[in-house]
Amino acid sequence: MDTAALFAHEFVPTEQEYAFKDTILYALGVGLGAKPLDPRHLRFLYEKDLVAMPSFANVLGHPGFWQKDPKFAITWQKLLHAEQRLEIHAPVPSEGKVRSQIDIMGLRDLGERGTMMHQRKVLSDANTGEKIATAVSSLMLRGDMQSGDHGDAPDELSKLAEREPDRSLDVEAAEILPLIYRLSGDWNPLHIDPDIATAAGFPRPILHGLATKGLATFAVLSQFCDLDPTRLKTMSLRFSRPVLPGDAMRFEFWDEGGGTLRFRATVPARDQIVLDRGLASIL
């Protein structure tokens, strides 16, 4: 990896115009169609008085797979999405035009494991300039060692409490979810092509990481916010294992008081933790 080229590069802002149909499509891709007669679900699915999921900010204004640019010399084939953080500054509009600006916060050299790269995206309303959200994607570059430490890194996500969770919620990652979610802009064939999934070492195409984070957002809003999207302020988590379409997931929550929640997600059938060290702040 060419760190000098990486930090010298000035990323061009990305603008995206979207309609209510895009907002509904995203909601369907993260599980809001599970209860189509529930008025709380319909707020995210029906253009009348439509509201957007807060996690929609993770995908709006996406800069594309810039890591493939040869000038950065990143071994992009071994890149993994390790963690995602989101801070909501204002409700995500149900339609409109947004502008995103990304920068590289920093790199952390993890020795033989590779390098952790922290990419920050600031999402704003393209017409008013109002800041909507800040998203930080932490990407594990498994093929890029000896990069050295550069810039800043977000605070480390701490381990969860060693006690029984206060609440839990079972959520199914329906078979169709990756087929719907990819229409929100993540066209990686790993999530639809069985041959590519097999070549990557998976038994079948896997669910997108940010789709899993969308399911986590749904779980938090369901359990603690009566599905009111304006009550979620921040949310961070670590991607531990892939989720397979059809998996029955169990979200476990620890309420630390003062609007602070910790959580994780497991797939009991495989006895695996798929999301870990979750942290959310709510009103």
Query: In this predicted model, what pLDDT tens digit does every residue of 66-86 receive, in sequence order?
Result: 999 999 999 988 888 999 999
What are the average pLDDT values for consecutive 10-residue runs of the chain, which has 283 residues?
94 97 97 92 96 98 91 91 97 98 96 96 98 97 93 96 96 96 90 90 92 97 96 98 96 97 98 98 97
- In order of start, what are the domains of the chain with their CATH numbers? 3-151 (3.10.129.10), 167-282 (3.10.129.10)
| Per-residue tokens: 182 | 């990819």
- Indicate the helix (H) or strand (E) that contains 41: helix 39-42
What's the pLDDT tens digit per position in 162-193? Answer: 999 999 999 999 999 999 999 998 888 889 99
What pLDDT score was predicted for residue 69?
A: 93
* CB contact set of 188 (below 8 Å; sequence gap of 6+): 182, 208
What pLDDT score was predicted for residue 259?
A: 97
What's the pLDDT tens digit per position in 109-139? Answer: 999 999 999 999 999 999 999 999 999 999 9
User: Smallest Cα–Cα separation from 255: which of 221, 224, 218, 227?
Assistant: 224
Q: What is the pTM of this model?
A: 0.94
What pLDDT score was predicted for residue 64?
A: 86
What CA–CA distance (Å, rounded) separates 232 from 237? Answer: 14
Tokens 């920050």, residue located: 120
CA angle 27, 31, 33 (to 5 degrees): 75
What pLDDT score was predicted for residue 201?
A: 86
Q: Is 268 in a helix, a strand, or coil? A: coil
